[in-house]
């Protein structure tokens, strides 16, 4: 085999980010009233910081939401679908068997990129997928990769379970990754720990069609307090490793964009990392809920919309969640 030419070894960067939000946004009071939850708006806000979440309508499928975000990201990059070589989709709520979500999204683009595959790392899926995209582009395999994080968490959450239904939301975000002469995405620090998998898990199967003989469908189950403790004990160190690999000190960051698990956790992570007040901390979870693999690109798009001066700045991304899986890297914001 002939070794790869040195000209194919390059860096990668994010050139655009875009989002798709469900038409319907549901506030805490409406959610409590609709599903008769034993909760209050004050209780939800005090424990999660969440005030509302997007809930997809039946026609807002994963593929539709993902494709809308993807098309917007491609346009914002000043490109056409023909300029995209590969589609990666990070999701934990794709319930259809056979065809990957990435393939479904790619087929909605014109022309459709030939390469497409899913990334299964739950809430760490986007950060994990970004590392794969970086490697594919910097290694010269593809010129450009379209990475989409898309979730319909409402499909896998039991509405009557206040430990999950008040937290999770739906939506999709996408970024275009292309080659660069300068580093725009650092090598990720990532890993997983299967011994803690039951902290946030879902039994195999489709909640819409419970297995015969089962009285409860395989909805998402979460041991919230224990998951919180695990995150606070392990994720800060993973983030520090990412900073070290990037050669960046916390004080040099312009933004911190973690997985939008809940506002208390985001505050705790920022404090554990010793981030100075000058670092903008993304808190999209307050109005969008926890959108799992979609949360980082959604939070990035929202933060840049509110703070456009952050474009070109350095941001620490940190994904973590079910599995348990985790990944973090430093990026230059588009």
Q: Which parts of 36-88 fold into alpha helices (H)? A: 41-48, 62-76
Cis peptide bond upstream of 324, omega within 30? yes
Is-catalytic flag, 135? no
Q: Taking a C-beta distance cutoff of 8 angstroms, is the pair 265, 231 a contact?
A: yes
**H-run or E-run covering 99:** none
- 59 annotated active-site: no
CA angle in degrees (0–180, nearest 5) for 37-158-148: 120
Name, in order, each residue with C-beta under 8 angstroms of 228's C-beta and a sequence gap of 6 or more: 264, 265
Query: Distance between alpha carbon 192 and the CA centroid of its chain, in Å?
Result: 16
Handedness of CA 84, 88, 90, 94 (dihedral sign): positive
Residues comprising the chain, all counted = 334
Closest CA to 331 of 291, 304, 294: 304
Alpha-carbon span 297 to 315, nearest angstrom? 12
Contact 253, 275 (CB under 8 A): yes
CA angle 193/235/48 to nearest 5° reads: 105
Is 262 a known active-site residue? no
Annotated active-site residue in 21, 68, 94, 259 = 259
The closest of 330, 125, 320 to 244, measured between CA atoms, is 330
- Give the integer Cα–Cα distance in Å for 266 and 307: 19
Question: Are 121 and 325 in contact, with CB atoms under 8 Å apart?
Answer: yes
Helix (H) or strand (E) holding 173: strand 170-180
From the candidates 21, 68, 94, 123, which is the catalytic residue?
A: 123
What are the structure tokens assigned to 244, written together?
A: 């070290």
Active site residues: 123, 259, 290
């Amino acid at each position: 085999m002939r070794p790869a030419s040195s000209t194919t070894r390059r860096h990668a960067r994010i050139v655009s980010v875009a989002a798709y939000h469900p038409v319907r946004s549901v506030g805490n009071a409406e959610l409590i009233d609709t599903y008769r939850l034993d909760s209050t708006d004050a209780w939800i806000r005090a424990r999660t910081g969440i005030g509302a979440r997007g809930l997809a309508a039946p026609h807002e499928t994963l593929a539709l939401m993902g494709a809308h975000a993807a098309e917007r990201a491609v346009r914002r990059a000043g490109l056409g679908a023909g300029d995209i070589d590969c589609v990666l989709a990070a999701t934990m709520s794709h319930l259809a068997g056979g065809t990957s979500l990435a393939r479904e999204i790619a087929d909605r683009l014109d022309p459709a990129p030939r390469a497409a595959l899913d990334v299964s790392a739950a809430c760490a899926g986007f950060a994990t997928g970004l590392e794969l995209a970086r490697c594919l582009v910097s290694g010269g395999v593809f010129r450009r990769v379209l990475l989409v994080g898309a979730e319909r968490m409402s499909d896998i959450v039991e509405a009557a379970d206040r430990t999950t239904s008040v937290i999770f939301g739906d939506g999709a975000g996408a970024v275009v990754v292309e080659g660069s002469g300068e580093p725009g995405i650092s090598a990720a620090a990532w890993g997983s720990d299967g011994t803690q998998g039951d902290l946030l898990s879902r039994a195999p199967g489709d909640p819409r069609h419970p297995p015969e003989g089962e009285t409860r469908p395989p909805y998402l189950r979460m041991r919230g307090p224990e998951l919180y403790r695990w995150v606070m004990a392990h994720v800060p160190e993973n983030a520090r490793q990412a900073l070290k690999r990037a050669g960046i000190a916390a004080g040099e960051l312009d933004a911190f964009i973690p997985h939008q698990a809940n506002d208390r956790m985001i505050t705790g992570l920022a404090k554990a990392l010793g981030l100075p007040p000058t670092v903008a901390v993304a808190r999209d979870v307050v109005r969008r809920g926890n959108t799992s693999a979609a949360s980082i690109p959604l939070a990035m798009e929202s933060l840049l919309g509110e703070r456009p001066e952050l474009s070109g700045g350095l941001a620490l991304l940190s994904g973590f969640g079910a599995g348990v899986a985790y990944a973090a890297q430093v990026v230059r914001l588009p």
